[in-house]
């Protein structure tokens, strides 16, 4: 983070990851996983606000049709 920035959002690429799946015959499934990291300067942004933003961002990315509602 460089002044006067108060937050920076780092977005990684999507990587296919093997996850356990009890409903699958093989016992696992492959899902694309993307890492997103938010760094905040706590002098200007409360951590709870950053966490709330990340929660909304995660929900929006997982359900993009909600943006149209």
**Known catalytic residues?**
42, 46
DSSP for the chain, written as a single string: --TT-SEEEEEEEEEEEEEE-TTSSSSEEEEEEEEEEEEE-TTTS-HHHHHHHHHHHHHHHH-GGGGG-
User: What are the phi and psi torsion angles at 56 (to 5°)?
Assistant: -65, -40
């Amino acid at each position: 983070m460089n002044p006067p920035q108060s937050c920076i959002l780092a977005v990684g690429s999507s990587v296919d990851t093997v996850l356990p799946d009890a409903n699958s015959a093989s016992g696992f499934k492959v899902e694309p996983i993307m890492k997103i990291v938010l760094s905040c300067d706590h002098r200007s942004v409360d951590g709870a606000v950053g966490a709330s933003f990340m929660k909304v961002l995660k929900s929006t990315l997982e359900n993009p049709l909600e943006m149209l509602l």
